[in-house]
Structure 1
Amino acid sequence: MEVGILAWIVLGLIAGALAKWIMPGPDRGGLIATILLGIAGAFLGGWIGSLLGFNTMGGFKPGGLVSATLGALLLLYLFRTFKR
């Protein structure tokens, strides 16, 4: 496994926790869904950030944490919206 992908998975765990802390509320998926949304949000935020030139997918940078958290917030919002 490439180190960059492993870094985004760990970053996703942090981003998922931050997203849940920023946007608290009842989630039916629980901790596992929050972690998975955080990882997916990290990939989404990192991908969009790299397209816009803010960060690269190659490792951990402070801008990556911001974009990963924003991606996790977006996915958490969409998850809550469509779960209703």
Structure 2
Amino acid sequence: MFNIIGAIFAGLFVGALARFFYPGAVEMGWLATILLGVGGSLLAGLVTHRGKEGFHRAGCLASILGAMALILAGRLIGWGGF
């Protein structure tokens, strides 16, 4: 239970920082910000994992960069929320 709550707060923190550092306005609600942060952390974890055994958490900076990459991908695809 605490892992889920921790992931929600970490996702909110990472998503909010990614929205802050991304150039231009990124309009989305709290739930979308949390999902953006969690998705950015997962993306950064996949990139930094590079085939090693076990689960390795990505750093905060890598998670923010992963979330910013998701914002960019959403804008390139043309999703309205990004």
Which consecutive unaligned segments of at least 5 residues does structure 2 have? none
Structure number with higher helix proportion: 1
- How does the TM-score come out when normalised to structure 1? 0.65
What residue number does 1:35 align with? 34
Letter paired with 1:71: G
* Aligned Cα root-mean-square deviation (Å): 2.8
1:44 and 2:43 correspond: yes
What is the CA deviation profile of residues 37-73 of structure 1, one whole-angstrom value per residue up to 9, with x for unaligned ones? 11111111122122288xx22xxxxx61011111100
Q: Which has the higher contact order (CA 8 A, sep 6+)?
A: 1
Aligned residues: 77
Aligned-pair identity in percent equals 36
* Offset of residue 11 of structure 1: 2.7
Counterpart secondary structure, 1:41 = helix
Which consecutive unaligned segments of at least 5 residues does structure 1 have? 58-62
